[in-house]
Amino acid sequence: MCARCPRVLGRSCCEVSEGEHLATLTHADVERVAAHMGLSPSRFSEVEWLTLEEALEYERRRPLYRGYFRQGPARLTLRRRSGACVFHDAREGCVLPEEVRPTACRLYPFELWPDGTWSLQVERLGGVEEARAEGGAGAGAVCLAVEEAEQLEDVLAAFGTSREALAALGERLRAEVRQHARGA
């Protein structure tokens, strides 16, 4: 699915323009990726400073990230190079094996909402043409799988996942955020 995105929509959600943001990382993500790639964290991650209000709003809208900013309004994120995540390959997509990828990347485009239900981080524009006209999938504005789906079950099937698998990944992220909040 994601390998088709640049060709069909013009770009994938791992490609970003100036001012757009990539996934939020926890210390656990950084350690896992650094160990697998043999890279120092500064080669692939960076800090984005938010205002206190932005940090509070971020946690309010994303229950899985409650406590993330306990040590301060600093968001860890992926570095970019030539308009894309440093791990993005134009032909292959993400070069990280799935089990090494940041948990936020593995969950995308699904999201646990404040009311406790799983839904999508992106709006459905109504079709592939509309999504292409909107500028493609950069920064997670739209998602090809969502545009091609008629219901949430179709999106789950497109990513070969299930509600149970999402719930398990969500619990993993919650635990990683708790650890992050302790500065560990």
Footprint of ligand SF4 on this chain (CB under 6 A)? 1-2, 5, 12-14, 22-23, 78, 85, 87-88, 94, 96, 101-102, 105, 108-109, 137, 143-145
Instruction: Provide the minimum distance between the beta carbon of 52 and ligand SF4 in the complex, in angstroms, as a whole number.
Output: 26
Q: Would you say 68 or 159 has its CB closer to ligand SF4?
A: 159
Q: Would you say 8 or 70 has its CB closer to ligand SF4?
A: 8
> Cα–Cα distance between 171 and 155 in angstroms, integer?
20
Q: Would you say 70 or 165 has its CB closer to ligand SF4?
A: 165
Instruction: Provide the minimum distance between the beta carbon of 31 and ligand SF4 in the complex, in angstroms, as a whole number.
Output: 14
Instruction: Provide the minimum distance between the beta carbon of 1 and ligand SF4 in the complex, in angstroms, as a whole number.
Output: 5
Q: Would you say 70 or 135 has its CB closer to ligand SF4?
A: 135
Instruction: Provide the minimum distance between the beta carbon of 71 and ligand SF4 in the complex, in angstroms, as a whole number.
Output: 23
